[in-house]
Amino acid sequence: MSGGPLFGAVVALSGGVGGARLLRGLDAVLPPGVLTAVVNTGDDFEYWGLHIAPDLDTVMYTLAGLCHEERGWGLAEESFSALEMTRRYGGEAWFQIGDRDLATHLVRTRALAGGEPLSAVTARLCSALGVQARVLPMADGACRTLIDTAGGTLSFQDWFVAGRAETAVKGVRFAGNPAPAPGVLEALENAELVLIGPSNPYVSIDPILTRPGVRAALERKPVIAVSPIVGGRAVKGPLARMIPELSGRPPSPDAVVRHYSGLLRGIVVEHGDEAGLDLPVLGASTLMSSRADSIELATQVLSFAARLTR
């Protein structure tokens, strides 16, 4: 089945690995020009003096077919010589940057320093790598995810990578409230369907949803999410612990639905997770460990969405 005829314009909101893998499937199934990805930049940060955009890079590398399949982030063919030499100099080495990946950060940082907006340099990098889908950062301006813990407030990366997300989360906040990047609101306006990828609602999707005008635009559209919680666990990352810490509920698709508070028209969950939900549900294989898995899930998600919206 082709998703091509089903929707003329689809927007998918995405964090890193899970969202990127859904995008990979959607990109393969939808005709050129249909898919726009709006990607979280709340966990962007400065490192080695460079602007790192982890989710944008994961989406770009995944859509380009260059991503390391098992890790989910970074490039498949990669070396870490610069990192090793940096260690030798006693420099920061807590965040893994590969040599080819480094070129992405260097080109982006230089462009930003020269006044090119993040959305423009993202389009340019994606084009150079042959990415077909339109990839938009959620915003050109800085919006930094902050994690409140009992021990104080940490930047997302300090909490997530450097601290291995081991500290309990008392709250998530965003520093900076930039407008959506050029094209984001227009894409949502034109969308016949909005998908929320299987990404962390608190730290990957909320930064997008809280951009001025985004939530209001979504409320006028059919929105369907793919659950990032599978069998009570997060596929990746600390979400399964964050849900009870932040909402008092057990980690489940229902907690995800409630978090999005009325926004969802339907939800796609892992087979066996369908029970206890008070909105249309599709059970599917949501773990996408290969490109074929991504295509299969994307096909089912689009078909489910078509049934709900037609």
**The only residue of 9, 102, 123, 263 in contact with a second copy, by rule CB under 8 A:** 102
Report, in Å, the least distance between residue 101 CB and a second copy.
Answer: 8
7, 34 Cβ separation under 8 angstroms:
yes
Residue 96 as a binder of a second copy (CB under 8 A): the answer is no
Query: CB 84 → a second copy: shortest distance, Å?
Result: 7
Say whether residue 85 binds a second copy (CB under 8 A): yes
Single residue of 9, 68, 95, 107 touching a second copy by CB under 8 A: 107
User: Is residue 125 within the footprint of a second copy (CB under 8 A)?
Assistant: yes
Residue 17 near residue 131 (C-beta atoms within 8 A): no
Which of 4, 91, 213, 232 is close enough to bind a second copy by CB under 8 A?
A: 91
Pick out residues in 127-146 that bind a second copy (CB under 8 A): 128-129
Examine residue 241 and tell whether it contacts a second copy (CB under 8 A): no
154 touches a second copy by CB under 8 A = no
Q: How many residues of this chain interact with a second copy, rule: CB under 8 A?
A: 31
Interaction mask 29-58, a second copy, x per CB under 8 A: -------------------xxx--------
User: Which of 287, 167, 154, 288 is CA-nearest to residue 238?
Assistant: 167
Minimum Å gap between C-beta 63 and a second copy is 15
Residues that bind a second copy (CB under 8 A): 48-50, 78-79, 81-86, 88-91, 98-104, 106-107, 109-110, 113, 124-125, 128-129
